[in-house]
Structure 1
């Protein structure tokens, strides 16, 4: 894992590979031993050369010919040995830290989003924590991208590092299901059902990951994350880690105190209840079928756009305002479910945002209700 990054000097040019960053060589025992061995070899070579030097006035020794047949390669690898770079002599190596200027649209459920300065996919806990450390040491902001749902990424993209969290693992201990932050909620529900654990079936209908659910208190069918979460392992940009109990996370409807902070969820533990495997699987199928009937899953969307106001439903208010099918650019209020905005025809983030503003204005005018976005706007607006 990368240890330290050194910024380009003010007079230095841009790296040929846009994803390359200077990384300080690790100062471990192995590297120090290798360096000592190299110095020892150099001293021995210099002594041999001095011992072979001709006496004053004597004949010059014959030089060994180093000529090779034309077209021959290095005997050991079939290629000439690479010449060491000048940077390597200064204790630096070059390492690739993700990719540069990667469009985020393919990584979001709405298929909208500008480029990330750095885009890096992490699949293990070590990679996740190491990437956070590298970003911190370079003073780069970090945004962790899970399933790409419940997000509206700006057309201008996200500055800093976007970590696509593919860290997926899960385990069961009694009625507790432990899952890493990149694990899909649907997988958590399936693991619980196979183990005869009930109470987590609703997770199968939420298109997101554990990390997103912990941050946003995701929920469906009358249940939410705060109802089943035991605790969550968290890490901040300084690398400090701790475990927070559910009551410490300030949960409310579709929000928590983690939102708007650089704190990252590493894994979480959920409590179900002992039950019957067949009943859990049956309940998952029933919920999934109901979701298919009511939601526009055939078109790119980001889930519910607005939170339900107290005592009412955002979808009912939007439909009553006559906004089903209303469109701005390529964004449209779904004719199937009014609390969904779909990417009907090459929509931009600006199209979706403008349509959200129109819906809020019309609902407020008709019903004197202020709709609060459930979708999170991220990036450079």
Structure 2
């Protein structure tokens, strides 16, 4: 047993720690080396204790949720890796006199989403803002798929737009995920975090720097514990219809991937290049002609060229080689610096230096 594991076991005897745990099974792309020490946080209090202990003892700490947009290096991750599986949910009292303005995000992605991914989206979108509102506090480790069904059983709607997105609540907040024409930030009132000093803080939505696939958590070292959402006592049958249609469309997306690798390009670049869509998948397929390209068992998907998939036993180096090729060729041929939608864990600065070139 390593000194780090012994230190953690002594301080937190109820937590089950594992050395050199393979992290590939904890990601949707099934790629990644081991964690030096790994554990699961089953409750928010357990997560809080782990985070505070790691911070106070200067132990390198990584929090994993669903692992759906994280590429882990083949060498793995040093320090403590915690998979957040806290799933508490509490329906709160709602003061109808309190009105919050949802954080609206400039939606450069909407054309590609509605026309390319979900052609009939415009026909099923509807507005729930006239429905009775309800506040719900939800733990960051709650999987979205579970959450949406739990809420619908309680007659609560609003998050149906995010069905079939493989994420936890915490990951959804970090990336301000979008579904159809809706962003997660549309529904968030506040977020409870542990800050860099180890103190608990409640942050209002207006302070979270929400944008297209981004939030303040991309640049801060705060750990999300839970969030309060402002949702609706809405039409459950309508919500279920959205889920059914969204699920049907999402079946077209490739498995064993990290989703779209890069953000869509800006409207300005789209206009400059006279492209029919801002989709990076269109660029990869029709301009770079890289659809189907392989590096080992990693492949630019034949089904959707914005995805890189693991067709067997792909390594992180395989995946990164394809990502790098797309990035460099787009920059060289189109003078566009793409923005990755995924996170990189365990890589050296030198290995990712091409992103700063």
TM-score range, shorter chain: 0.7 to 0.9
Aligned to 1:199: 158
Aligned to 1:70: none
* TM-score, with length taken from structure 1: 0.73
Does the aligned pair in 2 maintain the 1:21–1:97 contact within 8 Å?
no
Matching of residue 250 in structure 1 with residue 209 in structure 2: yes
How far does the alpha carbon of each residue in 1:118-145 deviate from its partner, in whole angstroms, 9 at most, with x for none? 1011101221111112222331021110
Return the alpha-carbon distance in structure 2 between the equivalents of residues 25 and 107 of structure 1: 25
Q: Which of 1 and 2 has greater Rg?
A: 1
Residue of structure 2 aligned with 1:331, choices 292, 298, 311: 298
Matching of residue 322 in structure 1 with residue 289 in structure 2: yes
Does the aligned pair in 2 maintain the 1:190–1:204 contact within 8 Å?
no
Count of aligned pairs: 297
Matching of residue 214 in structure 1 with residue 173 in structure 2: yes
Aligned to 2:312: 345
How far does the alpha carbon of each residue in 1:347-372 deviate from its partner, in whole angstroms, 9 at most, with x for none? 11111111001011222334332221
Aligned to 1:82: none
Return the alpha-carbon distance in structure 1 between the equivalents of residues 321 and 63 of structure 2: 25
Instruction: State the secondary structure of the residue aligned to 1:373.
Output: coil
Residue of structure 1 aligned with 2:340, choices 362, 365, 373: 373
Instruction: State the secondary structure of the residue aligned to 1:177.
Output: strand
The structure-2 alpha-carbon separation of the partners of 1:17 and 1:305, relative to structure 1 and needing over 3 Å to count, comes to: same
Return the alpha-carbon distance in structure 2 between the equivalents of residues 117 and 16 of structure 1: 9
Return the alpha-carbon distance in structure 2 between the equivalents of residues 184 and 100 of structure 1: 25
Instruction: State the secondary structure of the residue aligned to 2:152.
Output: helix
Aligned to 1:309: 265
The structure whose RCO (Cα within 8 Å, separation 6+) is larger is 2
Does the aligned pair in 2 maintain the 1:177–1:192 contact within 8 Å?
no
Aligned to 1:118: 37
Does the aligned pair in 2 maintain the 1:202–1:223 contact within 8 Å?
yes
Return the alpha-carbon distance in structure 2 between the equivalents of residues 147 and 109 of structure 1: 8
Displacement after TM superposition at 1:206 (Å): 1.2
Unaligned runs of 5+ in 1: 1-14, 27-93
RMSD: 2.3
Aligned to 1:280: 239
Does the aligned pair in 2 maintain the 1:180–1:266 contact within 8 Å?
yes
